[in-house]
């Protein structure tokens, strides 16, 4: 695999971009990871093997891509930037274990692009190991992408990614904190979430104005999930959180359940509590007792 280029320094990334009359684009939130030690931390955390397949979203100039190709059985890369698509094709187009999806990873806010779904399905059948998301995620798609991958059956078991610290804290937040919301509840119900380490702005080029973090999520196997309909659960939680500053009792009554008072009493949840104070475990109990949910 000596013909597969790997990690790129800041100077090498700039040279690649200059050679294609390109530059980092604020539109896509492009900040390239240039700290080798921290990239190794991402890879070591993921523990990718030759039996595994990897989804990488926001491939950039391919610095992480090359390292993944040295480790994984197959890599599916997704890149929306046309100039970067050319660079990736030139560097890794000869590798038959690499599939480049040259478009937005999302067809709409809460749906993956069909080409991405097809590529993941092909990778899943090509190797015997786990599916993983390993990426320096673009911030503007991170939330929708992560939740959609958790809700769907795409074979992704492990998620290791860099993202802005604000987003990382939302995924891991506890009830009664400013960062806590529907995303926190959904992520923590469907996966074990860990903030591995914080990253300083200078780990990236161009340096963002905020801190970032490496996050690891391990998907909870379907036979161990506390909810049997993850999409229904997510819809329920999101609907209630639309009134996050209002009392739970009134919100649930407006959703059409005439037995809300006895339900909350049975679950020992205070009727005056706000959605932002309901713990993830309580959300699960509430949904399971609610019955079929139709917004």
Burial of 243 per CB tally in 10 Å (0-12, 13-18, 19+): middle
Can you name the residues that pair with 133 across neighbouring β-strands? 55, 159
**N-terminal to C-terminal alpha carbon distance within the chain:** 52
Q: How far apart are the C-alpha atoms of 211 and 229, rounded to whole Å?
A: 35
Coil, helix or strand at residue 268: coil
Q: Is the pLDDT of residue 90 over 90?
A: yes
| DSSP per-residue codes, 19-61 | HTT----GGGT--EE--HHHHHHHHHHHT--TT-EEEEE--TT
The fraction of the chain above a pLDDT of 70, given in percent, is 98
Provide CB contacts within 8 A for 186, sequence distance 6+: 147, 150, 151, 230, 233, 234, 237, 238
Average pLDDT for 60-83: 98
**CATH, domain 10-224, list 3.40.50.150, 1.10.150.530, 3.40.190.170, 3.40.190.10:** 3.40.50.150
The tens digit of pLDDT for each residue in 202-211 reads 999 999 999 9
**84 in Cβ contact with 65 (< 8 Å):** no
Q: Is the pLDDT of residue 291 over 80?
A: no
CATH of domain 230-290: 1.10.8.100
Position 38 scores a pLDDT of 98
- CATH 3.40.50.150 spans which residues of the chain? 10-224
The tens digit of pLDDT for each residue in 135-170 reads 999 988 999 999 999 999 999 999 999 999 999 999
Q: How far apart are the C-alpha atoms of 247 and 131, rounded to whole Å?
A: 41
- CATH 1.10.8.100 spans which residues of the chain? 230-290
Average pLDDT for 237-248: 90
Coil, helix or strand at residue 244: coil
Q: How far apart are the C-alpha atoms of 293 and 232, rounded to whole Å?
A: 7
Provide CB contacts within 8 A for 196, sequence distance 6+: 41, 45, 160, 213, 214, 215, 216
The tens digit of pLDDT for each residue in 250-265 reads 888 888 777 888 889 9
């Amino acid at each position: 695999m000596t013909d597969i280029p790997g990690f790129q320094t800041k100077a090498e990334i700039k040279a690649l971009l200059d050679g294609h009359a390109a530059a980092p684009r604020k539109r896509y939130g492009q900040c390239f990871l240039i700290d080798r030690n921290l990239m190794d931390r991402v890879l070591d955390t993921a523990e990718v093997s030759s039996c595994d397949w990897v989804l990488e979203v926001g491939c950039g100039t391919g610095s992480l891509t090359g390292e993944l190709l040295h480790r994984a059985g197959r890599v599916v890369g997704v890149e929306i930037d046309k100039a970067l698509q050319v660079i990736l094709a030139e560097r890794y187009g000869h590798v038959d274990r690499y599939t480049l999806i040259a478009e937005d990873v999302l067809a709409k806010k809460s749906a993956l692009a069909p080409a991405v779904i097809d590529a993941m399905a092909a990778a899943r059948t090509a190797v015997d190991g786990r599916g993983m998301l390993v990426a320096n995620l673009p911030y503007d798609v991170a939330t929708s992408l992560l939740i959609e991958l958790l809700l769907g059956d795409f074979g992704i078991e492990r998620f290791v990614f860099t993202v802005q610290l604000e987003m990382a804290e939302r995924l891991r937040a506890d009830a009664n904190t400013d960062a806590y919301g529907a995303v926190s509840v959904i992520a923590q119900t469907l996966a074990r979430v860990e903030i591995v380490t914080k990253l300083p702005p200078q780990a990236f080029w161009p340096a963002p104005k905020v801190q970032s973090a490496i996050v690891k999520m391990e998907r909870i196997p379907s036979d161990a999930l506390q909810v049997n309909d993850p999409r229904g659960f997510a819809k329920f939680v999101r609907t209630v959180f639309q009134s996050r500053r209002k009392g739970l009792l009134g919100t649930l009554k407006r959703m059409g359940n005439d037995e809300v008072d006895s339900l909350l009493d049975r679950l020992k949840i205070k009727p005056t509590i706000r959605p932002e104070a309901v713990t993830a475990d309580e959300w699960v109990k509430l949904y399971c007792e609610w019955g079929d949910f139709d917004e």
